């Protein structure tokens, strides 16, 4: 774009310099000669460099072949590409990323973390001890989490209370994993998801569930009933919650269906989620009914402490 136009223009000066009517001889031939000669050397260097560059592929002729065919195979370090992709995903994530060293010092956070805590710059937090982001009453809980993770544990979806830049509290779900460096734990890292605005909504949803037409239930790890809603009582024909709370779920099943139900709940206690399972229930008056069962693990912190779910009555579909 630069050298060739210069060569063309100075070349025309050479061509028409000899004609008196062109007035070009007033400029002097030496100026054009120097510029034209330098341009020639620049073009020569351009050609040499580009011929050399055609040999720098995986093989001497691979780039030349790509010029002819229009295709070139590029070998990518998959691990390097994966790490780069993950880093970009972390930086652009809506989840707040953080990293802490063995001494509890924050060494890295992403923009989402800063936004959740209300800080403007990484310089405001990097280099500080993690405890500055907690009230004193919530500090012991976080210290316990850090101690567990530094010992090799992994934490997922733990609800915690934070202290923002303005001193106001907020709630988020915390995940934490050990950082392995040279085969040893060198710190911890993880993500936070803000749930401050959704907690009130979740409370409303809880009350909506309790008052819904679907039967809600919760079992502890021994499969004893610890909570039901009014719709559940109505489906099972009980008058009061006190009639069922603390009792084993087997009171709600025929003996022929007991093993099947226990198998379902045992799977849920191991982390599975069950939905749309057809179940026969035994009501308080020994009558039976049909319903669809859903069951999910009930978590307390990072541990499964029971089973909860819904039942939807479909008895009418099985009547003559």
pLDDT digit string, tens, across residues 220-242: 999 999 999 888 999 999 999 99
Would you state the structure tokens that stand for residue 119, as one six-digit string? 């800080």
How much of the chain, in percent, has pLDDT values that exceed 90?
41
Which pLDDT belongs to residue 82? 65
pTM: 0.44
How much of the chain, in percent, has pLDDT values that exceed 70?
85
Cα separation, 142 vs 155, whole angstroms: 11
pLDDT band at 199 (very low <50, low <70, confident <90, very high): low
Q: Would the CA dihedral through 67, 72, 77, 78 be positive or negative?
A: positive
List the end-to-end C-alpha distance of the chain, in Å, as a whole number. Answer: 88
Overall average pLDDT of the 99-122 stretch: 93
pLDDT digit string, tens, across residues 153-185: 888 767 888 999 999 888 888 888 999 988 899
Overall average pLDDT of the 246-268 stretch: 91
Are 130 and 146 within 8 A, CB to CB? Answer: yes
Model confidence at 213: pLDDT above 70: no
Average pLDDT of every residue of the chain: 84
Q: What is the 3-state secondary structure (H, E, C) of the chain?
A: CCHHHHHHHHHHHHHHCCCHHHCHHHCCHHHHHHHHHHHHHHHHHHHHHHHHHCCCCCCCCHHHHHHHHCCCCCCCCHHHHHHHHHHHHHHHCCCEEEEEECCCEEEEECHHHHHHHCCCCHHHCCCCEHHHHCCHHHHHHHHHHHHHHHCCCCEEEEEEEEECCCCCEEEEEEEEEEEEECCEEEEEEEEEEECHHHHHHHHHHHHHHHCCCCEEEEEECCCEEEEECHHHHHHHCCCCHHHCCCCEHHHHCCHHHHHHHHHHHHHHHCCCCEEEEEEEEECCCCCEEEEEEEEEEEEECCEEEEEEEEEEECHHHHCC
CB burial string 142-153: b at 16+ within 10 A, e below = beebbebbbeee
pLDDT digit string, tens, across residues 39-80: 999 999 999 999 999 888 878 888 888 888 888 777 777 777
Overall average pLDDT of the 179-198 stretch: 86
pLDDT digit string, tens, across residues 283-300: 999 999 988 888 888 887
Would you state the structure tokens that stand for residue 242, as one six-digit string? 């006190």
């Amino acid at each position: 774009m630069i050298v060739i136009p210069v060569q063309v223009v100075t070349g025309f000066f050479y061509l028409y310099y000899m004609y008196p009517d062109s007035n070009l001889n007033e400029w002097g031939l030496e100026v054009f000669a120097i510029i034209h000669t330098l341009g020639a050397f620049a073009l020569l260097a351009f050609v040499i460099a580009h011929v050399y560059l055609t040999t720098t592929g995986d093989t001497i002729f691979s780039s030349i072949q790509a010029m002819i065919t229009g295709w070139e195979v590029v070998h990518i370090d998959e691990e390097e590409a994966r790490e780069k992709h993950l880093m970009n995903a972390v930086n652009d994530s809506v989840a707040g990323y953080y990293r802490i060293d063995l001494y509890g010092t924050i060494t890295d956070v992403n923009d989402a973390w800063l936004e959740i805590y209300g800080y403007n710059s990484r310089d405001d937090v990097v280099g500080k001890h993690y405890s500055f982001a907690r009230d004193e009453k919530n500090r012991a809980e976080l210290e316990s989490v850090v101690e567990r993770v530094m010992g090799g544990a992994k934490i997922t979806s733990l609800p915690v209370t934070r202290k923002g830049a303005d001193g106001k509290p907020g709630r988020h779900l915390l995940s934490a994993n050990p950082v392995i460096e040279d085969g040893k734990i060198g710190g911890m890292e993880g993500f936070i998801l803000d749930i401050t605005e959704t907690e009130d909504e979740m409370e409303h949803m809880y009350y909506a569930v309790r008052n819904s037409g679907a039967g809600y239930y919760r079992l502890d790890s021994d499969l004893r009933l610890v909570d039901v809603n009014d719709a559940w009582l109505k489906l099972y024909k009980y008058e009061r919650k006190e009639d069922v709370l603390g009792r084993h779920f087997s009171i709600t099943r025929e003996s022929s269906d007991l093993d099947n139900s226990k198998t379902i709940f045992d799977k849920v206690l191991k982390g599975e989620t069950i939905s749309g399972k057809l179940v026969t229930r035994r009501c308080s008056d020994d009558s039976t009914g049909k319903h669809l069962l859903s069951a999910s693990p009930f978590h307390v912190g990072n541990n499964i402490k029971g089973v909860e779910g819904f039942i939807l009555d479909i008895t009418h579909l099985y009547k003559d």
